[in-house]
Chains A and B, each alone.
Chain A
Amino acid sequence: MCIEYITIAALFAVAIEVKPWNAVPSVTEETWKSLVLESDLPVMVEFWAPWCGPCRIVQPVIDELSKEFAGKLKVFKVNTDESATIASDYGVRSIPTVIIFKNGEKKEAIIGAVPKSTLTSSIEKFL
């Protein structure tokens, strides 16, 4: 019994360790419509690419915001190398670009590694 608890505790520890990488889930072309366009809540999407330096600055901020606005805002990320159609459809050029959607419509785009306060102000307009 005790060993079982230790094993479960160890698994949770591993999950917590891994969690930060996956704090914000990815959305793909297959899930775009259901997760973003048909969402009841406003949605913030970060468009990123693996070799984009400024994306490394923005990602922890996006992670924090997804926790702070949990229940009020859904947050996803799109790898533009893997989901090129979405990036094309929404006119993404510079990366990182953060786009806020409400009722399936693009409401605002924020380009580059901006401060957290800039993103917070944009989010609050659509809650």
Chain B
Amino acid sequence: MRKFSEQFCRKSDTYFCVDKSVTAVVIKGLAEHRETLGAPLCPCRYYEDKEAEAKQGFWNCPCVPMRERKECHCMLFLTPDNDFAGKDQTITLDEIREVTANV
């Protein structure tokens, strides 16, 4: 999911959050969902039935609002004009491990 996120950032001309811990947590959440549900379901929503949502696909990353309007409420992909946008389109495995070790 880390590589995917970096590639999609470049492709969509968006940036990671200035607080990389936000990015790290979301990437880890996406990876967990891909492992348990078979699809990278957005971890910033509540679903009554995660399996059905993952199958339906609307909230699988990159979700429809992101693909259509560059709206990522999870703050993984931020447009340059967003107050929280940083300057990076990359994140290291170590950064992700460091933040998510105690979650």
Tell whether, in the assembled complex, residue A84 and residue B25 are in contact, meaning their CB atoms are under 8 Å apart: no
Which residues of chain B from 1 to 24 have any CB-CB distance to chain A below 8 Å in the complex? 17, 19, 21-23
Q: B22 CB to closest chain A CB, in angstroms?
A: 4
Check A51–B19 contact: CB distance below 8 A: no
Which of A53, A56, A80, A93: most chain B Cβ within 10 A? A53
B residues whose Cβ falls under 8 Å from a Cβ of A: 17, 19, 21-23, 25-26, 28-30, 32, 43-46, 48, 73-76, 84, 103
Is A54 on the interface with B (CB-CB < 8 A)?
A: yes
CB–CB A56/B19 < 8 A:
yes
- Whole-angstrom CA separation of A95 from B59 in the bound complex: 13
Which residue of B is nearest A112, CB measured?
B73
User: Nearest 6 CB-CB pairs, A to B?
Assistant: A51-B29, A53-B22, A51-B43, A53-B26, A80-B46, A87-B46
Chain A contact residues, CB within 8 Å of chain B: 47, 49-57, 80, 84, 87-88, 92-95, 112-113
The answer for the CA separation of A80 and B29 in the assembled complex, in Å, is 14
Instruction: Check if B46 sits within 8 Å of A54, measured CB to CB.
Output: no
Also in contact, A84 and B46, with CB within 8 A (given A51-B28, A53-B75, A54-B74): yes
